[in-house]
Amino acid sequence: MLTGAATELGPTIDELLTERTRTHTDQVFLRFASGDLTFAEVHDRAARLAAGLASIGVESGTTVPVVMANSAEFMISLFALSRLGAVACLINTTFKGPALAHAIGVTQARVVLLDPSVVANLDAIAPSLPTELIRIVVGGRWDELASAAPVPPSSTHTATDPAIVLFTSGTTGPSKGCVLSHRYVLRQAELMSRHLGFVETDVLYCPFPLFHIDATVLTVGPALVLGATAAIGERFSVSGFWPEVRQFGATVFDFMGATLTMLHKAAPLLDDTDNPVRLAWGVPVPDKIASGFEQRFGLHLVELYGSTDAGIPMYHPIDRPRRPGSCGTVIDAYEAQLHDDDGFEVAFGEVGELVVRPTEPSIMADGYLGMPEATLMSRRNLWFHTGDRLRRDADGFHYFVGRTADSIRRRGENISAFEVEEVVKLHPESLDAAAFGVPSEFTEDDLMVAVVVRPGRTVDPAALVEFCAQHAARHMVPRFVDFVDDLPRTPTEKIRKDALRQRGITPTTWDAQKASTAP
């Protein structure tokens, strides 16, 4: 199936799983701490659940939210929905309050697949949803439907039809659901396998959530394409990372955000090189630790550039010496330019916004679910606008400089400032708020909020942070809180985040991390 330049659309996800069941019947496809599943076992279990879901009205074109932690049940759900031609909308399990209400509401779903652990979060926002949902909970109704007698697939969906929805952070509004086709998933998996040199005998390890592109598209996807094994951890843990790598027999892993730095800062052990990994890929690769990390753990680091919206248009060539700070060169499946604010291409060495477009069909998101205006705005002038600022050298290597959008990236998670502000403003004593990123010692950002309190009232910062923890995902809880009289604004009354970032941490800023370690 792998080709340098694709000349046909290819199969759907469910068709390829059926083919792998024939060619790699007893090969381990999915590996979890709970055990292994072969291609044949995944196919059989997905076919049974698909029959059960069909019996309650799920059919081709139906959008079904999946709110589950990393598990075999998560992946069986995705493959079952694919078999029906339905669309699996994969939602962050830590979403609460407004963020969860938006993500569920935009799907206009009637059925939702859940872990028991998230039922309470759904209960809390149920009154704000447009319709009452049929809840299929693992350990209850899910198990019942998953035991149905399998029936042959009857859907006529094709490779260019929607397969999954993955949410990416909002910038000036709510998080956006990227609609990704079957071809997007499989072609991105093919391209990654080719440019990073994955092979059939690889065990591809990812410790990040399956509602992220890294795990679902770029780990499970290549395993499906190659007939290899995808090993999925429950969550990233510095102390548990290398033991799980060894337990799973991982030959490849991915990293994002501060995870590489965290692993590097852990105390060296005598058995650091005693691991089966040959390659690790992700972003960023901090220049100061790259060579030392490779020597310490006996592997090769590769940086790339990508997003859920655009796919992965750049890879640093694995057979060429690392260019410090570079996320690579543009691959043949894309065209890319760096534009100034007026939409003209900048010269080599100058910084501009990265814009991309595909040279083949259905390898980028087809748009944002239920958000046509945002879809159109992101694709102006026949280019997809990434909102990221890069520079390029004369050899075509690109270097990430920063983000222009009002988005915060904290420990591998993209955070919508808008959604954080909505939660802070839910507090009864909060009048207004602005969320923004400040530099973190682990690279990327830490989350800070500037809060205007109602006149004559006071708020304990620790209590405000605890309030946020009760109403928002863990990565959306601010570390820094600064109470201010007013927020800086433009003449059109928009909050000037640039001024807040420049102001940064002040003598009056409260730090949750310092507070938690104070005697």
Position 429, amino acid: E
| Structural domain range at position 419 | 409-517
* β-strand partners of 328: 398
Question: Residue 459 has what pLDDT?
Answer: 94
| 130, part of any domain | yes
Q: Are 397 and 323 in contact (CB under 8 A)?
A: yes
**pTM of the entire predicted model:** 0.85
For residues 284 and 257, give the distance between their C-alpha atoms in angstroms, rounded to a whole number: 6
Instruction: Please say which residue of 113, 132, 157 terminates a domain.
Output: 157
Question: Residue 402 has what pLDDT?
Answer: 73
Tell whether the torsion through CA atoms of 365, 366, 367 and 373 is positive or negative: positive
- HSE (CB half, 13 Å, CA atoms) of 138? 18
Question: Residue 518 has what pLDDT?
Answer: 66
Instruction: Please say which residue of 132, 157, 182 terminates a domain.
Output: 157
| 117, part of any domain | yes
Question: Residue 409 has what pLDDT?
Answer: 79
414: helix, coil or strand? Answer: strand
Number of domains in the chain: 2
* Closest C-alpha among 246, 234, 315, 316 to residue 277: 246
Q: Residues in the chain, how many? A: 519
* Closest C-alpha among 357, 13, 368 to residue 166: 368
| 429, part of any domain | yes
Q: Residue 499's domain is classified under what CATH number? A: 3.30.300.30
Residue 19, H or E segment = helix 13-23
For residues 283 and 271, give the distance between their C-alpha atoms in angstroms, rounded to a whole number: 25
Instruction: Please say which residue of 88, 122, 157 terminates a domain.
Output: 157
pLDDT digits (tens, 9 = 90+) for 84-143: 999 999 999 988 999 899 999 999 999 999 999 999 999 999 999 988 999 999 999 999
Q: Residue 83's domain is classified under what CATH number? A: 3.40.50.980
Q: Are 329 and 316 in contact (CB under 8 A)?
A: yes
pLDDT digits (tens, 9 = 90+) for 244-296: 999 999 999 999 877 888 899 888 999 999 999 999 999 988 888 899 999 99
For residues 202 and 278, give the distance between their C-alpha atoms in angstroms, rounded to a whole number: 10
| 365, part of any domain | no
pLDDT digits (tens, 9 = 90+) for 205-220: 999 999 999 999 999 9
| 492, part of any domain | yes
Residues of the chain whose pLDDT is less than 50?
A: 2, 171, 491-492
| 455, part of any domain | yes
Burial 3-30 (b: 16+ CB within 10 A, else e): eeebeebbbbbbbbbbbbbeebeebbbb
| 486, part of any domain | yes
* Closest C-alpha among 407, 517, 404, 422 to residue 467: 422
Question: Residue 418 has what pLDDT?
Answer: 76
Q: What is the DSSP string of 317-375?
A: -TTS---TTEEEEE-TTEEEEEE-TTSPBPPTTS-EEEEEEESSTT-S---BTT-HHHH
| 428, part of any domain | yes
Pairing of strands 28-32, 229-232: parallel
Question: Residue 494 has what pLDDT?
Answer: 65
Question: Residue 4 has what pLDDT?
Answer: 56
For residues 403 and 414, give the distance between their C-alpha atoms in angstroms, rounded to a whole number: 11
